[in-house]
Structure 1
């Protein structure tokens, strides 16, 4: 019997053991789920109450795990209505110096200007590796650094236009406040933190009115600077090039995109009536030959060589002497009397506009030549100096504003008492832009003046100018 029921009893015991194991596992799962549910329902107040913070609590092994488990699962303070705990402020860390190596190429009619900017930390470290870098740059330190760098950096940049290398001028080193494309004006003797200072270098090169190709060559690589982007500005457009230690040249091609210089405005001409020319030399020759012929006939003598050769020589002499000693009678310039504002404005506006057009040129002799078409006398030199000062940005050589818009209004006009011409009370406004350190500056100047216009060599010109008010808008 025992042999017969043995397998059945073993199977029964196996089933009972498995059922007990499954029951214990199920109970464990229920306990874990219940514990998790209770943990998830704890709010921050319960957690603090059970954490023992601020109160005496007996050491029990079961509390620590519960607290440790509840901490990561705690819901945000907003859910419980309690304010979020304040975050401890970080310690103040000084801003790290900006690393800057940026070039700018401005291509204009008759001129190209190259500018380069570097962060002060690397520039000063290159300039004097053994000297400790200061935290700030005062006016004396700025001046000393610029003077020390001047001779060492002036050969860093070269330029070619249309395949021909042009000789430029190094305009100097300056300390700049701000960042590339967003520089800020500096006060006199202003001290700059080192991490806010930049060093700027500037070159100026004469070019043809509309160069087809401009090649910039750069040799100013120092420290870890091995490449430098160059932003090329031409007219209202721009594009980016790059130079490096391996390829130090960057080529820009116009492809008809560079605006040509604006032509001079047309000034109303003074009508000149040609006079009657009298060939005095031919008349004297003819009268002399006629008197000689009469003398020979009266004295009944023969002409030397006969009558025909004498007549031919007489006519030939009259023809050859025709261009000599021509005297003009009558004619001359018909100078109108200007009394109306509209008439004065037609003459005054192009003359003043051409004064600004003269400064589109960069060579002093060319500026004077164009300026002399509109200005005469002592006013020529005076107007040259005053205009070039008004168009130069912040006294920086090379940053000359190009006038793009001009308008003039005549408020009054009266004839000139001392001779032909007129005197006009007028107001004019000139607006222009100039690119510098990666961004453009707009300048608007307005003037009120009494202007004297007179005919000089049969052309209207400015002969006197008395500015009563000058404003920068």
Structure 2
């Protein structure tokens, strides 16, 4: 069937709006260069060709001017709080259009270019770009390629489908206008920005992290709020803002959704997750580096973070992780996997291959406790208590009789004394009492031996916290600390390992360095068992890992200890903490 001249024609065979947008942030304005194919005008407006199946240039220019209001209405630039920047048309450039018009077969060969200028009262520290071409329910799918520049230096790129947003942090102190002329300086500053953003560089991407440790498998998911709302509708009154109350109300539904769409299996057993954290983050990257307080968030640059832990009884040997939900915005899920301290792996799951499997190369037994030499009890002397008492009485009675002089009294005293002596002789093995030898010095180790014992006890004390379950920590701690002191030491060490800025997460101990230990023997403290005191100073370095980056903290301590031998071995029996101070803090990417 031939097309009649002047009749409306059907939509072209490329049923999607494809546009490109260059956004350049300057000192006082944002310059936006927006380009669209001629095809877009045909998609959005009912137009007619001439008898040569061409769209007249004059008609295309008229519709392009008409399209200006459409672009300004559906192209969004917003600040960190979701406030929209006002924009105006500067110029339209239709110079690519041929004078004879554009043939129906060439609609994708010619472009129309716009330049808009958006203004701001204060320099924005974040800029969000979004598009919803066609309104809430567009007839024509739309995809916009975005490149964001700051003073001419490329900051980021993204491809935005309908309703999605992309946020870029702006560094006004970087001197981009100078760096543009110094290419290497610009590259170095961009590398620095990646470190500063902890590797979480895209505000429109879904990030997934899978940690495998001796005590748990932990899955952390970071999802743009706008993306999450395509998975799971969330109620909010203001289309721009999600309030704290609305965030709290949505927690249960979000956690249930993620639980339904994912699965973790370790060594043949399906594990149930424990929700450790569910937070709504704003654009500030420091929100990820600390436990940020709750606050209202702009839906255009907010992200939702979930941390779910799967406790295990021993280091996993085999693991499978499954993710089942996919859509147009997330056709695949890319995850970074961190097995123990062995670096990082990357895995991608798709609707056709939704399960990732991992297997340990070898068993990972826990580091054993340091073995200590057993304490030597003091040598003892057995004293015949009954014999000594009888002997003493014999001396006393004999002395009395001697003073009485000759006569019956002396004779009776002599008889009594002899009887008592006989009793002492007969009872020499009865009622014996063991007492420490007064001159024995072999029970207390020398300085080198005592320091070796203390350093082992001190190391084992912290090694107990390699476990995560309180019962296991206490059981291991009891091999270094005397019973009455267990709770005190447990709470003191645990307090030092908590990172309050990370929501109270307990850091994993990486190094315990004993700087000094002054040993002093203590006579008589342990009865028949040896004892010594130690004045010690040491540092503890621990880490907490979240969202692909590592928080490393080093604390320094000074304390006094009392160490005593027992039947079951050496034990710390007294603990007097003196000084606790932070001497180092670092945040870095996990590599």
- Cα–Cα, structure 1 residues 158 and 378, in superposed 2: closer, same or farther, change >3 Å? farther
Q: Secondary structure at the match of 1:357?
A: helix
Q: CA offsets, 1:226-275, max 9 Å, x none?
A: 4211111021411011223343321012223x865322223333246999
- Cα–Cα, structure 1 residues 130 and 361, in superposed 2: closer, same or farther, change >3 Å? closer
User: What is the TM-score with the length of structure 1 in the denominator?
Assistant: 0.60
1:385 to 477, 486, 491: 491
- Cα–Cα, structure 1 residues 271 and 338, in superposed 2: closer, same or farther, change >3 Å? closer
2:118 to 91, 97, 112: 91
Kept in 2: contact 1:154–1:170 (CA 8 A): no
For residues 536 and 478 of structure 2, the distance between their equivalents in structure 1, rounded to whole angstroms, comes to: 21
The CA deviation at 1:354 is 1.4
Partner of 1:448: 558
1:20-419 aligned within 5 A? 90-92=117-119, 94-95=128-129, 96-97=165-166, 98-124=203-229, 126-129=231-234, 131=236, 134-137=239-242, 139-146=244-251, 149-177=254-282, 183-185=288-290, 187-207=292-312, 209-219=314-324, 221=326, 224-234=329-339, 235-256=341-362, 260-271=365-376, 336-338=443-445, 340=447, 342-394=448-500, 399-416=505-522, 419=525
Kept in 2: contact 1:124–1:145 (CA 8 A): no
**Which structure features the higher share of strand residues?**
2
- Cα–Cα, structure 1 residues 246 and 391, in superposed 2: closer, same or farther, change >3 Å? farther
Q: Secondary structure at the match of 2:492?
A: helix
Partner of 1:459: 569
Q: Secondary structure at the match of 1:359?
A: helix
For residues 214 and 441 of structure 2, the distance between their equivalents in structure 1, rounded to whole angstroms, comes to: 38
The CA deviation at 1:119 is 0.9
Uncovered stretches (5+) of structure 2, i.e. residues with no partner: 1-114, 120-126, 130-164, 167-202, 381-433, 584-591
- Cα–Cα, structure 1 residues 177 and 470, in superposed 2: closer, same or farther, change >3 Å? farther
For residues 406 and 171 of structure 1, the distance between their equivalents in structure 2, rounded to whole angstroms, comes to: 27
For residues 140 and 452 of structure 1, the distance between their equivalents in structure 2, rounded to whole angstroms, comes to: 52
- Aligned-residue Cα RMSD (Å) equals 3.9
The CA deviation at 1:373 is 0.7
| Bigger relative contact order (CA 8 A; separation at least 6) | 1
Does residue 560 of structure 2 align to residue 436 of structure 1? no
The CA deviation at 1:451 is 1.4
Kept in 2: contact 1:178–1:184 (CA 8 A): no
User: What is the TM-score with the length of structure 2 in the denominator?
Assistant: 0.49
For residues 452 and 435 of structure 1, the distance between their equivalents in structure 2, rounded to whole angstroms, comes to: 35
For residues 352 and 474 of structure 2, the distance between their equivalents in structure 1, rounded to whole angstroms, comes to: 44
The CA deviation at 1:331 is 12
Q: CA offsets, 1:123-145, max 9 Å, x none?
A: 24544356456534554454444
The CA deviation at 1:91 is 0.8
For residues 367 and 152 of structure 1, the distance between their equivalents in structure 2, rounded to whole angstroms, comes to: 34
Kept in 2: contact 1:104–1:232 (CA 8 A): yes
**Which structure features the higher share of helix residues?**
1
- Cα–Cα, structure 1 residues 195 and 446, in superposed 2: closer, same or farther, change >3 Å? farther
Report how many aligned residue pairs link the two structures: 334
For residues 299 and 288 of structure 2, the distance between their equivalents in structure 1, rounded to whole angstroms, comes to: 15
Kept in 1: contact 2:128–2:300 (CA 8 A): no
The CA deviation at 1:109 is 1.5
The CA deviation at 1:208 is 5.1
From the CA coordinates, give the structure whose radius of gyration is larger: 1
Kept in 1: contact 2:323–2:354 (CA 8 A): yes
Does residue 578 of structure 2 align to residue 468 of structure 1? yes
Q: Secondary structure at the match of 1:442?
A: strand
Kept in 2: contact 1:177–1:186 (CA 8 A): no
Kept in 2: contact 1:104–1:231 (CA 8 A): yes
For residues 515 and 540 of structure 2, the distance between their equivalents in structure 1, rounded to whole angstroms, comes to: 12
